[in-house]
Amino acid sequence: MSNYESVFSMLGLEQWCARGETSGGGPVSMADLLAQNAGTDTPPPSIWELPFPSMDTLHEACGAFPQSRALTKGIENGFLSIKDGLSFFLDPLTQPLSWFLEGALWLFETTPWWIMIPVLLVVALLVSRSVKLVVFVAVSLLTFAFIDYYSFAAQTLAVIFVCAALCVVLGVPIGIAMSRSDRLQRAIIPVLDMLQTLPAFVYLIPLIFLFSVTEPKLYGIAIILYAIVPVVRLTDLGIRLVDRDVVEAADAFGMTDHQKLWKVQVPLALPNIMAGVNQTIMMSLSMVVIASLVSAPGLGVLVLRGIRNLELGVGLVSGLGIVVLAVILDRTTKLALARISAGQDR
């Protein structure tokens, strides 16, 4: 006798449960099979051994009650039923992302190293105004080239450049809109919480069903969804933290909402926005490694090769290479943030 069979009897559902048993029922446990072969029924458990009334446990008591597998199967079938419609809508909408990624990869891969490395050093110098950082970037890039990892590092930088730029282009306006509407903020914050806590691998599951593995937008969307949260949150927070006296002074001068936003609130919130950009770049870099599972190029491919083939050296060196890129991007954005903060303090 099953543990909860009496509950269904008390509810008068014997006939309903009987229909489920005649339609096939659930899997039989090994203990039940042994008991059937021995010609005896499974003895009822004591109160201490009473199992939690989960779906599978209730299914044992009533064959018509669905198993937990029916729930996951229902979600799977529901997604597959709308997959074609989603693909029809999302394919043209996300196609520019594939073009941007392919263009950036082509630019970083085909430009000779003796042009690309000086260009990157000039960019680092203009952004950070730090000779020490430029020397560190030069040594790092030349080391990548010396150990034949330069092309992989360039691919990683290309992917991060496109995805982080799109995160800023999309995230800053969303953050500004949130700061101007409490209702919109209350609606978007649960979505941001979900994006921030969802395991990174889970981002890839629905995207694999929607897009081909060979399409760059597959890993591009996953990276953007994973990395866009900090820039949205900190843009919203930065604008909300602007001193009310300053905003009232702008109102007293007769500024319009548009002038007040772009000439007062956004400039004062720039340190927070730059901190969000820094975190977005770091999260993009961490997601690039996971996205290598779905054909994302770069150093993540070498990390994956080290794991698959048990090549310890390849995995460790490429992992250290990612750390070096993270240090370069982190220090560059932080020095730019320090320059902005120093300019506002004058």
pLDDT at 54 over 90: no
Would residue 310 be called left, alpha or beta, if left means φ above 0 and alpha means ψ between -120 and 50 degrees?
Answer: left
What is the C-alpha separation between 227 and 229, in angstroms, rounded?
6
**Confidence bin at 4 (pLDDT 50/70/90):** confident
Q: Which pLDDT belongs to residue 143?
A: 92
Residue carrying the six token digits 């090769």: 305
State the average pLDDT over residues 281-305. Answer: 87
**Confidence bin at 330 (pLDDT 50/70/90):** confident
Using alpha carbons, list the distances in angstroms from residue 284 to 6, 49, 95, 303. Answer: 55, 48, 20, 16
Core vs surface per residue 151-189: b (16+ CB within 10 A) or e: ebbbbbbbbbbbbbbbbbeebbebbbebbeeeeebeebe
Q: Which pLDDT belongs to residue 101?
A: 92
Residues 6+ apart with CB under 8 A from 124: 133, 134, 137, 328, 332
DSSP label at residue 293:
G
pLDDT at 48 over 80: no
What is the C-alpha separation between 163 and 188, in angstroms, rounded?
21
pLDDT tens per residue, range 104-118: 999 998 999 999 999
**Confidence bin at 94 (pLDDT 50/70/90):** confident
Residues 6+ apart with CB under 8 A from 219: 159, 288, 291, 292, 294, 295, 296
Structure tokens at 209: 């069903």
- Taking the CB of residue 132, how many other CB atoms lie within 10 A of it? 10
Q: What is the pTM of this model?
A: 0.81
**Confidence bin at 345 (pLDDT 50/70/90):** low
Structure tokens at 182: 């409490």
Long-range contact pairs involving 181-187 (C-beta distance under 8 Å, separation at least 24) = 185/236
SS3 label, residue 62: coil
Q: What is the DSSP string of 264-287?
A: IIHHHHHHHHHHHHHHHHHHHHHH
State the average pLDDT over residues 78-107. Answer: 88
pLDDT at 21 over 70: no
Using alpha carbons, list the distances in angstroms from residue 204 to 220, 256, 269, 340. Answer: 10, 44, 33, 37
What is the C-alpha separation between 335 and 119, in angstroms, rounded?
19
What is the C-alpha separation between 295 and 213, in angstroms, rounded?
7
